[in-house]
Amino acid sequence: MESNVIPDSVRPQRLQPGIGFGSAPTGPLRSSLRPGVTVPIAPLLPSPASLAASSGPPPPPPPLQLHSLYGGVGAGLGPGATGHCNPGNPAVLKEAVEAVVRSFAKHTQGYGRVNVVEALQEFWQMKLTRGADLRNGALVVYEMVPSNSPPYVCYVSLPGGSCFGSFQFCPTKAEARRSAAKIALMNSVFNEHPSRRITDDFIEKSVSEALASFNGNREEADNPNTGIGAFRFMLESNKGKSMLEFQELMTVFQLLHWNGSLKAMRERQCSRQEVLAHYSHRALDDDMRTQMAADWVNREQSVAGTIAQELASTERELEDARLAGRELRFYKEKKDILMLAVGQLSAANTATLPSH
């Protein structure tokens, strides 16, 4: 398979928390480290916009934007990635995806038109039989967006948690399913390439480029209490993992940042390293989602319309990312959490209504 047929930015990811950063936290940290908070949103790792007034340049904050740190086949990792593949140039994305599907068919002795839905499932089943750590099995899950007329939209979630969506205009539900499977298969295949692994050379190059981007110095890179140091610490802790697996872990921190939890932990005097060590072992589960949703309910009760505004923004982000062929879990989880908050708010309002 020729990697140069794929635009640098066609690089979405998947999610699998549980990568160790050290010993589990003890003592009061356990009660401090929780996603449920009601505070203004501010990152534990500051945003690039705040660097001018900051003495310690951080790595790219959530949403993770590593497209400037990775060259070649690994470019365009994060949800913020930009490049040739965008809603304004769907033909390039379609061409790239079709090239990977054709190449996959050729290398697996496929004949004629490839059934991409079956191929995607077989790919992950193959990984499972070869010893891949898939905690919930190899099942690929599809989700259709309710609609009575085209265009139809379908999302597909891979075993590790990565989410992709149909990126073309789909006149039928079956075509939407195939479109989602194509982009997911492309990312699954490319994730197996050796260049997609975190190695010592990759870490050094990434840290050096991060330092150059944020005008940092080598001392900061060796100090885990700085943003760049925390970035290096996370990369080294995930050595040998793929880009998709690293993005899976980062999705958890993206959501914690979005929800305001990282700022709350910093205010509770939790160090970056403690937070990283704790949440590297936490899967994104229903309990975490419920806690985050409860925070949005609290915000809505303080300022009416907060959830509706955030939901509208999230839906625009999700749509743009889907049409650009990016990994969608961060945006999809945000929407699901907000919808869960709407349900919680409705249930609370119903419970307080006077009985007749």
* Model confidence pLDDT, tens digit, residues 66-100: 322 222 222 233 333 323 333 346 676 677 677 77
105 falls in which pLDDT band (50, 70, 90)? low
Q: State what percent of residues in the chain have pLDDT above 70.
A: 69
For 75, residues 6+ apart whose C-beta sits below 8 A from its C-beta are: 8, 9, 11, 67, 81, 83
* Distance from C-alpha of 343 to C-alpha of 328, rounded to nearest angstrom: 22
Q: What is the DSSP letter of 341?
A: H
Question: Fold for domain 112-192?
Answer: Double Stranded RNA Binding Domain (3.30.160)
pLDDT at 50: 29
What are the structural domain ranges in the chain?
A: 112-192, 197-283, 285-349
How confident is the prediction for the chain on average, in pLDDT?
74
pLDDT at 89: 63
The helix/strand count (H/E) of the chain reads as 13, 3
Q: What is the mean pLDDT of residues 30-53?
A: 36
pLDDT at 296: 95
pLDDT at 200: 92
Greater pLDDT, 110 or 279: 279
49 falls in which pLDDT band (50, 70, 90)? very low
267 falls in which pLDDT band (50, 70, 90)? confident
184 falls in which pLDDT band (50, 70, 90)? very high
Q: What is the mean pLDDT of residues 119-138?
A: 86
Q: What is the mean pLDDT of residues 222-233?
A: 79
pLDDT above 50 for 142: yes
pLDDT above 50 for 53: no
Amino acid occupying residue 1: M
Determine which of 18-27, 157-166, 218-227, 319-328 has the lowest per-residue pLDDT on average: 18-27
Greater pLDDT, 92 or 322: 322
* Distance from C-alpha of 323 to C-alpha of 312, rounded to nearest angstrom: 17
* Distance from C-alpha of 164 to C-alpha of 318, rounded to nearest angstrom: 10
pLDDT at 60: 34
Structural element, H or E, at residue 92: helix 90-107
* Distance from C-alpha of 343 to C-alpha of 349, rounded to nearest angstrom: 10
pLDDT at 65: 31
Cβ burial, residue 217 (10 Å; 0-12/13-18/19+): exposed
The full DSSP string for 194-240 is GGGB--HHHHHHHHHHHHHHTT--HHHHT-TTSHHHHHHHHHHHTTT
pLDDT above 70 for 133: yes
pLDDT above 60 for 274: yes
* Distance from C-alpha of 52 to C-alpha of 54, rounded to nearest angstrom: 6
* Distance from C-alpha of 19 to C-alpha of 242, rounded to nearest angstrom: 12
